[in-house]
Chain A
Amino acid sequence: MSESTIKETTYKPTSPNSKLDFASLWEYAPAPESPAKLKIKNQYQLFIDGKFQKPSKGRYFKSVNPATEEEITEFAEATQKDVDKAVKAARQAFEGEWSSLSPKSRGKYIYRIARMLQERAREFAIAESMDGGKPIRESRDVDIPLVAAHFFYYAGWADKLDFAFPGKKPEPLGVCGQIIPWNFPLLMLAWKIAPALACGNTVVLKPAETTSLTAMMFAELVQDAGLPAGVVNIVTGAGQTGSEIVNHKDIDKIAFTGSTGVGKIIQKSLAGTDKKYTLELGGKGALILFEDAAIDQAVEGIINAIYFNQGHVCCAGSRLLVQENIADKVILKLKDRLETLIVGDPLDKNTDIGAINSKQQFETVNSYLELGVEEGADVYQSKCSIPDSGYFIRPTLFTNVSQSNRIVQEEIFGPALTVQTFRTADEAIEKANNTPFGLAGGVWTDKGSKIFRVGKGLRSGVIWANTYNKFDPTSPFGGYKESGVGREGGLHGLAAYVNLK
C-alpha cells in the first residue's frame, strides 16, 4: 500500500451506526469469474496498417492489475515516428480502399465488428475487469453490451447518412485522431470508432496507458474481421503519444475524452489549426432529491450515480442536494445502503465496487478524502472489509459540507459523495449550476411537472429523472461549460464526423 493511504482511524463514523445488522450471518461465498479462458499475451505491439508492428524505439511499458498490483502484460510505447506511420496508413486507407467502398459495404464491416464483439463478450469483460479494476457485474452487464450496441447502432447509419442530414451532403472528414480515457476503456473506444467509421473516416486511436488491454484485443478483432488495412490504427502510450496525435499535421479531427485539464491543453494546441475537435471532459454532477420522491428508490439511484465504476465516471452524480426536511432520513438510508455494498475482487460476480484504476488515481482520491477532513466535513465510510493488497477505497459520504469546499467544487473521480441540503427548487438549481462543469445531473421527484421545471434550469448536457447513469447509443452525450465541446452518440454524434455540403 502506498504511503498516502489514509489511516483507518481518520474515518471513525461521525454519526451513530444503523441499528440494522448487515454483517453477521450468511456471508456470500466467493464467486469469481474464471480468467482461464482469456489468453493475454506477454507483450502487445502497435496496430498500424492492419499489422502488429514493433515500436520504433523499442520501448515498452507495464500494465498492472489494480486489484492485485501484479503486472499483467506490457504495451509498446508509440513515439512521434510511430504516430506518423499510423497517420500515413490511415491517410492511405482513407484515400484508397475505404473511400471506394459503398456505404452499404462499410456498414457490413461495422456490423461484423459488432457481432464479433458479442461473440467475444466474455473475454472482453474479463479483460476489462482485470486491467481496469471494474467489477465484472458492470463490465459484463453494462460496458460490453453497450460496446456492441454502439457498433450495431452506427453500422445502421453507414448507408443512411443522406437521411441524417436532409438537404445536405455529408462527407467524411478524413483521418481522425482519437484519445480515450481509462474509466470505460472499450466503451469509449466504441463511442469514438463506431461513428467515425460509419461516416467513412479512418482513425488513429490511443487508449489510456493504464487500460490498453481491451483496445489491443479489439485490434486483433479488427484484423480477424478483415477490415481493410489502415482503417483502424491503435497506438499505445502515455501523454506524449497523445500529444503527437493532437499536433500531427495530417490529422483532420481530434476526439478526446478525459480530464478538463488535458482538454484545455488540447484546445490550446488546436487553436489556429483547421482541425475539428470534440472534447468530452470532467463533471461534478448534482443529484437533486425532492421531498416528494420515492425515497428508497432514489437512494438506489444515488448509489448508482456515484458508486458505479468506483465513481470513475465523468458524468457521476457526486453532489447530492437533498431537500432539508428529508435530509436526515435520506442520510440514514444512504449509510445503511453503503453497508451492503461489497467492495473487493473485481472478478467476483458479487462485487459491487472494484479497485481504483491505478496507483496514481488511488492517491488522488485519497488526497481528496484527506482534504475533505481538513475542510471540516463529516466523513462516513462503510465498515466492509477490503483486500489487503490492491487499490481499494471504501464508499465514502461527506456531510456537513458547503458550496465553497473544494470537495464540492472539484472532480474527485472516486467513490465519494458530498451531501448538501436545500429548501426551494430555485436554491437547488442555483447550487447545482454553481460549478465550472455542466455534464450531467439527476432529479428525483414524484411530480412530472417538477422534473421539467428543474430540468430546464439546469445547465447540464444530460439530465436523468428518477434514475441515473443510463446510457444508450441513440442518445447524445456531452457537456456544457468546462465539461466539453460537441456531442457523442445518436444523430448528434454523426455530425461530429462529417463535413456538410
Chain B
Amino acid sequence: MSFIKNLQITPIDRVAVEEKVSRLNKRSIKKESKMQALKLALSMVDLTTLEGKDSEGKVQQLCQKAKSPHPSVPDIPSVAAVCVYPSMVRIAKNHLKGSRINVASVATAFPSGMAPLSIRIDDTKFAVDEGADEVDMVITRGAFLEGEYNLVFDEIAAIKEACGDAHLKVILETGELHTYENVRLASDIAMEAGADFIKTSTGKISPAATQPVTLVMLEAIRDYYYKTDKMIGMKPAGGIRTAKQAIQYLVLVKETLGAAWLNKDYFRFGASSLANDLLMQIVKQQTGYYQGLDYFSVS
C-alpha cells in the first residue's frame, strides 16, 4: 500500500470551524421544513443498544420500535438500522425479517479495538456470518497517535476485506484524537482504505459526536468526492439526544454536501434516545401539543 506517499496533512482552523457551526446553528427551521427534517432524521437513526446487560428481550423490543416507532400516528418512517453487538446480530436479524431495516454490528473488539488484528478480523467475520448488513469498526487510536498511519490504513483495508458485501463504517473515536487536524487525517485514511461510512464515536468516550468534528468530517468527504467521485457516508454517534440537535446536523449536511447526502444511505445518527424526542416533536407539530414521555414506548 502506498497511501503514506500521498499523505497530506490538511490544516484546520479550529476557531473558524466553530464559528461556521455557530453560524449554521442560527438557521431557523420552521413549519413544513421542520416536519420534513424531523421525519428525515428519524429515517436516518441507527437505533442502538451496546450494553453488557443487553438481552434477547431488549433487542427484540428495539427491533419492534425500529419497525414501527409510534404506531398510533400514521405516516411515521421506520428507522435505518438497529445497531448491536455481534452476539445479538442473529436475534436482531430474525426479528427484522421482512423489513427493510438493516442490522449493524459493532465489531473489531469494540469499543477499544485493543485486540490482535486476527481476532478483530474474526470478530468482523462472525458478525457478517451472523447476518450483519453493516459493520461498525474502530480504528487503533494508539497506532494513529503514534503516527503509524500505514498500520491504521492496512487494518481498515483488512477489515473491509473481511466485511465482504457488508457496509463498513469506520469509527475514528474523535474524542481520543484531540485535534481537528487528526480528525481530518483519520477521515482521509479511512476513506482511502475503503470505508463506506466514517463515524465519529463509539459513544463510550466523552466527548462523543460534536458538530464541529462532524463538519470537519463532512468537508473531508466533500474533498474526497471532488477528487474521486465516490460518495462516502457520515455517521455522528453519541450525545445526540434532541430533535433540535438532529436538525442542526442536517443543516450541516445540506450546506456542506447538498441534497444527495440527505438520506439514510449517506447519513446516519447513532443514537438511542433521539428517536423518542423526534417522535415527540413530530406529534407536537401535528397536534400543536406536547405529550408526556410516557406516551412514547421505551426501546
Contacts and interface: CB of A to CB of B under 8 A. Distances in A.
Interface of A: 19-31, 137, 141, 292-298, 300-301, 332, 340, 349-350, 446, 466-467
Given A22-B258, A332-B226, A29 B30 contact: yes
B278 to A, nearest CB: 15
A332 B11 CA distance: 18
Contacts of B293: none
B28 interface: yes
B225 A19 contact: yes
B13 A20 contact: no
Given A20-B222, A25-B254, 16 more contacts: A20-B257, A21-B258, A23-B259, A26-B36, A26-B37, A27-B33, A28-B29, A29-B30, A29-B31, A29-B33, A298-B13, A300-B19, A300-B20, A349-B28, A350-B27, A467-B15
Contacts of A292: 11
B259 A26 contact: yes
B257 A294 contact: no
B211 to A, nearest CB: 15
Given A24-B259, A26-B40, A26-B250, A31 B28 contact: yes
B17 A22 contact: no
Which interface residue of B28, B260, B262 has the most chain A CB atoms within 10 A? B28
Contact of A340 (B12, B219, B255): B255
A481 to B, nearest CB: 30
7 closest Cβ pairs, A-B complex: A297-B16, A31-B28, A25-B259, A297-B13, A294-B13, A349-B28, A446-B11
Contacts of A29: 29-34
A223 B292 CA distance: 50
B16 A20 contact: no
B97 interface: no
Given A26-B254, A29-B31, A29-B34, A466 B26 contact: no
Which interface residue of B16, B20, B262 has the most chain A CB atoms within 10 A? B16
A116 B32 CA distance: 37
Nearest to A33: B28
A21 B255 CA distance: 10
A296 B21 CA distance: 13
Contact of A28 (B33, B225, B257): B33
Given A22-B255, A26-B250, A340-B255, A137 B26 contact: yes
A309 to B, nearest CB: 15
A28 B250 contact: no
5 contacts: A28-B33, A31-B28, A294-B11, A349-B28, A446-B11
A28 B16 contact: no
A297 B17 contact: yes
Given A25-B259, A29-B34, A300 B16 contact: yes
Given A26-B254, A294-B13, A467-B15, A349 B26 contact: yes
Contacts of B37: 26
Contacts of B262: 25-26
A350 B28 contact: yes
A300 B259 CA distance: 20
Interface string B33-61: 11011001000000000000000000000
B226 A297 contact: no
Contacts of A23: 259
A151 to B, nearest CB: 25
A169 B228 CA distance: 68
B11 A293 contact: yes
A25 B259 CA distance: 6
A467 B16 contact: yes
B34 to A, nearest CB: 7
B259 A296 contact: no
A28 B259 CA distance: 13
A301 B11 contact: no
B106 to A, nearest CB: 30
A145 to B, nearest CB: 14
A301 B16 contact: yes
Contacts of A24: 259
A467 B18 CA distance: 13
Nearest to B251: A28
Contacts of B28: 28, 31, 349-350
A446 B10 CA distance: 10
A192 to B, nearest CB: 29
A19 B229 CA distance: 9
Contacts of A20: 222, 225, 257-258, 260
A467 B17 CA distance: 11
A137 B15 CA distance: 20
A31 B251 CA distance: 15
B139 to A, nearest CB: 23
A22 B255 CA distance: 7
A141 B257 CA distance: 26
B209 to A, nearest CB: 19
Interface string B224-253: 011001000000000000000000001000
Contact of A297 (B20, B259, B260): B20
A294 B222 contact: no
A28 to B, nearest CB: 5
Contacts of A294: 10-13, 16
Contacts of B29: 28-29, 31
A24 B30 CA distance: 18
Contacts of B12: 294, 296-297
A292 B12 CA distance: 10
